[in-house]
Chain A
Amino acid sequence: MTGSSFTRRGFLGLTSAAVAGVGLSACTGGGTSTGGGQTAAASKNLRLFTYEGDETIGLLKAQIKKFDAENGTTTTVDSLPGSGAAVYPDKLRTELLGGKGPDVWRIWGGQIGSPFAKAKQALDLAPYYSKFGWDSKINTAAIGGMTFDGVKSGVPFVSLGIGAWYNKSLFAKAGVSALPTTYAELEAVNDKLVAVGVTPCGLGGKYGWDIMRLFEYLLEHTAGPELHDKLLTGDESWDRAEVVEAFTLFKKWQDKKWLPQGALGLDPADIEPAYVQGKTAYTITGPWTEAAAILSAKKSPSAFGNFELPTDQTPARHSGFVEGYMINAKTGNADKAAALIDFIVQPATQKALQVSASTVKGAEPDPKALPLSAEWADKYGSNPFYTIQDQAFPKKQADQYFSVQSDLLQGSVAPDAAAKKMQEIVSAWAKS
């Protein structure tokens, strides 16, 4: 019996341990390495990790092939297109911790790129800024977006502004003959569109960041540039009339059906291109939509247009953000990786990649290939921008903020309570 008892207990123990192992090992990222391993040995192989979509990955691979031919390297390009900043950084982080991180990766600036710099997973690129003269070739404000605690950890190659991208035929159907130049005119446009049965603004609330673009615009409108910037850094309290007014307007957009029905549950990937399909009149997005939504749908750019959302403020600003490349601090090929980045930020490469809002001087969008992006750059490219809010806040605070948005649109909190809640979130972050 002893043997039987031992076997049973042993089996019970081992099985329990197995359950524990399976459960717990799910969150270790496959190991316990906290540093991502040692510096890799130098080689001629590079790996670049990005989130290019199907419409642009071919262009990138063609340019990388050219770089390889000129430099005797073999560069692998991996891409994770799709849900944007909600998923890509996780994959990157897991790769870095697993010690198999890419040599070069694309990343957003602000609080999305910041953790990689602060954890020293990204290389300090100051020596390469000197070597390749990036300071004089790249827009200074954009470099600021990839500088963390004074360390230049990334090389921005795109600085994107967010505005309204609209379907001309639906505006015409609603009798809109002139683009809105004031907030009141924008509201009037929305009313006209609803009157002819068209949903004005196509935004989705899944993930939070898409519908956020409306609220941040409303906040710019009600608070103005100076206060908006101070709110984002926690230097001013959110518990104030301007914020309450912005939340009130935000709710108004939903209540007046200026947003799609059930917007909170919609996936941005589904609803953003709806203006191209004629299901909504416009969306709030950036110039990438020209390649990703208009051209990929084989539609003529002449059927669409864009305008900066009117804020009634001086200076007129729009939401914006930068994206760039970082180099793995553990790579054994830092020089080659830097050379690859330098190749990518050459004006000729930027044009070949059809970058719609390049930070590189001399790489403005080609009006023939991307007429709408060129038009945006020409009209609004030099306007200042405020930091897009999901880059202004760390992910956790951004998600808490998205929860406030969600509660407000569902009517479970009032605008003044939402402003108070935001103040709690931002002040807790600012103190930490």
Chain B
Amino acid sequence: MFALPALVVYIAFLIYPALSSLFFSLTNWDGLSATYKFVGLENYVKLPSDPVVVEAVRNNLIWTVVTIAVPTVIGLALAIALNGKVHGKPILRLIFYTPAVLPLVSIASIWGWLYNPQYGAINSFLRLIGLDGLAQPWLGQDSTALWAVMVPAIWLRTGFPMLLYLAALQGIPNELYEAATVDGATRWQQFWHVTMPSLRPAHYIVLALSLIDSFKVFDMIYAMTYGGPGTSTQVMGTWMYFNVFQYYQAGYGTAIAVVITLVAIAVGIPYVRSQTREAS
């Protein structure tokens, strides 16, 4: 009985809307009318032939790989650096983590200005140092737009792995390093054979949470490029939004949401299993 209030909230705000969404993904509801028709799996069947879905999946994959790999490597490097004898460690930690707590829309606005092709700081700097040829309309061409949005994403996502790794590094017993030193291990060998294996649980958490986060990407792209130019920066999250909220194709858009969710679950299950295994 003690769990009943929580269960009611859980059912009302998670299970019921989730099942409703699943249901609407099987209809042709426009998202506004009082009527709709049951269309079975038609919305799902249409997905592979939608060229924007194909483009969005490709962008999601690129986004996932880059915004996991780069922040993880940088975060680990920063954590190792901050784990040593560094002056002003708390301030540096704060500086590196601050982007993670800034509102995403603010970050998008700031970087939107930095990327402004005429007056933005990036192109202005490139022109200042004589690299005019490298000045680009970063957000205004297919070839650079997605990559340009990923840069601030990397910037704001580096703080999270840094903190996790830093906590994990501080938990590695010093005796392991002392023993390795006695055995004649170089610093590089200590890193690969002591540090990295000891960080395995942290790697797992960083990877799993970052993966789930990457599949949900929406806000940075929506705010910085609105999915454009054309559809070149559309990802599944934004394409779902456009269909549900802008094109009055709620049934189809909800089918995209279901697919995103299934992928997130597939990715999340190993993480959840590992956590429950440890707990038991």
In the bound complex, residues from chain B placing their C-beta under 8 Å from that of A264 are 137, 140-141, 228-229
Stretch of B23-31, B87-95, B162-170 at the chain-chain interface = B23-31
In the bound complex, residues from chain A placing their C-beta under 8 Å from that of B13 are 21, 25
State A263–B118 Cα separation when bound (angstroms): 10
Q: Could you tell me if B257 and A26 are in contact, using CB atoms closer than 8 angstroms?
A: yes
Q: State whether the Cβ of A319 lies closer than 8 Å to any Cβ in chain B.
A: no
Q: State whether the Cβ of B124 lies closer than 8 Å to any Cβ in chain A.
A: no
Q: Could you tell me if A262 and B17 are in contact, using CB atoms closer than 8 angstroms?
A: no
Known contacts: A96-B32, A115-B32, A395-B247. The answer to whether A19 contacts B265 by CB under 8 A is yes
Known contacts: A119-B32, A205-B140. The answer to whether A265 contacts B242 by CB under 8 A is no
Stretch of B60-68, B153-161, B186-194, B271-279 at the chain-chain interface = B271-279
| Most chain A CB inside 10 Å of its own CB: which residue of B229, B265, B279 | B229
- Interface positions, chain A 1-36, Cβ under 8 Å from B, are 4, 7-8, 11-12, 15-32, 34-35
- Interface positions, chain B 258-280, Cβ under 8 Å from A, are 258, 260-262, 264-265, 268-269, 272-273, 276-277, 279-280
Stretch of A46-54, A180-188, A224-232, A403-411 at the chain-chain interface = A403-411
On chain B, which size bracket covers the interface? 35 or more
Q: State whether the Cβ of B115 lies closer than 8 Å to any Cβ in chain A.
A: yes
Q: State whether the Cβ of B249 lies closer than 8 Å to any Cβ in chain A.
A: yes
- Interface positions, chain B 41-90, Cβ under 8 Å from A, are none
State A116–B140 Cα separation when bound (angstroms): 33
Q: Could you tell me if B268 and A16 are in contact, using CB atoms closer than 8 angstroms?
A: yes
Chain A, residues 260-298, CB within 8 Å of chain B (1/0): the string is: 111111110010000000010000000000000000000
Q: Could you tell me if A18 and B20 are in contact, using CB atoms closer than 8 angstroms?
A: no
User: How many residues of A are in contact with the other chain, CB < 8 A?
Assistant: 64
Q: State whether the Cβ of A56 lies closer than 8 Å to any Cβ in chain B.
A: no
In the bound complex, residues from chain A placing their C-beta under 8 Å from that of B136 are 262
Q: Could you tell me if B34 and A35 are in contact, using CB atoms closer than 8 angstroms?
A: yes
Instruction: Give min CB distance, A309 to chain B, whole Å.
Output: 24
Q: Could you tell me if A260 and B118 are in contact, using CB atoms closer than 8 angstroms?
A: yes
Q: Could you tell me if A24 and B34 are in contact, using CB atoms closer than 8 angstroms?
A: no
**Which of A23, A97, A279, A399 lies in contact with B260, CB distance below 8 A?**
A23
Q: Which residue of A lies closest to B222 (CB)?
A: A87
Q: Could you tell me if B118 and A262 are in contact, using CB atoms closer than 8 angstroms?
A: yes
Q: State whether the Cβ of B172 lies closer than 8 Å to any Cβ in chain A.
A: no
Q: Could you tell me if A208 and B228 are in contact, using CB atoms closer than 8 angstroms?
A: yes
Q: State whether the Cβ of A86 lies closer than 8 Å to any Cβ in chain B.
A: yes
Q: Could you tell me if A97 and B32 are in contact, using CB atoms closer than 8 angstroms?
A: yes
In the bound complex, residues from chain B placing their C-beta under 8 Å from that of A410 are 141-142, 229
| Most chain B CB inside 10 Å of its own CB: which residue of A8, A11, A25, A406 | A25
Instruction: Give min CB distance, B140 to chain A, whole Å.
Output: 3
**Which of B17, B140, B216, B280 lies in contact with A7, CB distance below 8 A?**
B280
In the bound complex, residues from chain B placing their C-beta under 8 Å from that of A89 are 246
Chain A, residues 314-356, CB within 8 Å of chain B (1/0): the string is: 0000000000000000000000000000000000000000000
Q: Could you tell me if A262 and B226 are in contact, using CB atoms closer than 8 angstroms?
A: no
Q: Could you tell me if A403 and B33 are in contact, using CB atoms closer than 8 angstroms?
A: no
**Which of A15, A25, A96, A399 lies in contact with B17, CB distance below 8 A?**
A25
Q: State whether the Cβ of A192 lies closer than 8 Å to any Cβ in chain B.
A: no
Q: State whether the Cβ of B147 lies closer than 8 Å to any Cβ in chain A.
A: no
Q: Could you tell me if A399 and B117 are in contact, using CB atoms closer than 8 angstroms?
A: no
Q: Could you tell me if A86 and B240 are in contact, using CB atoms closer than 8 angstroms?
A: no
Q: State whether the Cβ of B220 lies closer than 8 Å to any Cβ in chain A.
A: no
Q: State whether the Cβ of A93 lies closer than 8 Å to any Cβ in chain B.
A: yes
- Interface positions, chain B 214-232, Cβ under 8 Å from A, are 216, 225-226, 228-232
State A20–B272 Cα separation when bound (angstroms): 13
Instruction: Give min CB distance, B30 to chain A, whole Å.
Output: 7
In the bound complex, residues from chain A placing their C-beta under 8 Å from that of B277 are 8
Instruction: Give min CB distance, B133 to chain A, whole Å.
Output: 13
Instruction: Give min CB distance, A78 to chain B, whole Å.
Output: 18
In the bound complex, residues from chain A placing their C-beta under 8 Å from that of B226 are 86, 206-207
State A53–B77 Cα separation when bound (angstroms): 47
Q: Which residue of B lies closest to A411 (CB)?
A: B141
Q: State whether the Cβ of A389 lies closer than 8 Å to any Cβ in chain B.
A: no
Q: State whether the Cβ of B125 lies closer than 8 Å to any Cβ in chain A.
A: no
Q: State whether the Cβ of B198 lies closer than 8 Å to any Cβ in chain A.
A: no
In the bound complex, residues from chain A placing their C-beta under 8 Å from that of B229 are 205, 264-265, 406, 410
In the bound complex, residues from chain B placing their C-beta under 8 Å from that of A28 are 17, 20-21, 24, 254
State A19–B249 Cα separation when bound (angstroms): 24
In the bound complex, residues from chain A placing their C-beta under 8 Å from that of B15 are 17, 21
Q: Which residue of B lies closest to A395 (CB)?
A: B246
Q: Could you tell me if A24 and B261 are in contact, using CB atoms closer than 8 angstroms?
A: yes
| Most chain A CB inside 10 Å of its own CB: which residue of B17, B24, B36, B253 | B17
Q: State whether the Cβ of B97 lies closer than 8 Å to any Cβ in chain A.
A: no
**Which of B24, B241, B247, B272 lies in contact with A16, CB distance below 8 A?**
B272
Instruction: Give min CB distance, A418 to chain B, whole Å.
Output: 12
State A267–B120 Cα separation when bound (angstroms): 13
State A410–B142 Cα separation when bound (angstroms): 8
Known contacts: A25-B13, A264-B229. The answer to whether A20 contacts B18 by CB under 8 A is yes
State A28–B33 Cα separation when bound (angstroms): 14
**Which of B17, B29, B31 lies in contact with A21, CB distance below 8 A?**
B17
In the bound complex, residues from chain B placing their C-beta under 8 Å from that of A15 are 268, 272
| Most chain A CB inside 10 Å of its own CB: which residue of B14, B23, B265 | B14
Q: State whether the Cβ of A94 lies closer than 8 Å to any Cβ in chain B.
A: yes
State A264–B226 Cα separation when bound (angstroms): 12
Q: State whether the Cβ of B180 lies closer than 8 Å to any Cβ in chain A.
A: no
In the bound complex, residues from chain B placing their C-beta under 8 Å from that of A119 are 30, 32-34
State A19–B272 Cα separation when bound (angstroms): 11
Q: Could you tell me if B17 and A31 are in contact, using CB atoms closer than 8 angstroms?
A: yes
Q: Could you tell me if A407 and B24 are in contact, using CB atoms closer than 8 angstroms?
A: no
Q: Could you tell me if A93 and B31 are in contact, using CB atoms closer than 8 angstroms?
A: yes
Could you list which residues of chain B lie within 8 angstroms of chain A, going by C-beta atoms?
Answer: 10, 13-18, 20-24, 29-36, 112, 115-118, 136-142, 145, 212, 216, 225-226, 228-232, 240-242, 244-250, 253-254, 257-258, 260-262, 264-265, 268-269, 272-273, 276-277, 279-280
Report 17 cross-chain contacts, Cβ distance below 8 Å, ordered by A residue. Answer: A7-B276, A8-B279, A19-B265, A25-B13, A25-B14, A31-B17, A34-B29, A115-B30, A119-B32, A119-B33, A121-B32, A261-B118, A262-B116, A263-B137, A265-B229, A406-B142, A407-B230
Which 6 A/B pairs are nearest by Cβ-Cβ distance? A262-B137, A265-B140, A262-B117, A21-B14, A23-B261, A25-B17
Q: Please give 18 more A-B residue pairs, beta carbons under 8 A apart, in addition to A21-B13, A28-B254, A119-B33.
A: A8-B280, A12-B276, A16-B265, A17-B15, A19-B212, A27-B244, A32-B23, A34-B29, A86-B226, A94-B245, A115-B248, A260-B117, A261-B118, A265-B140, A265-B229, A399-B247, A402-B228, A406-B228
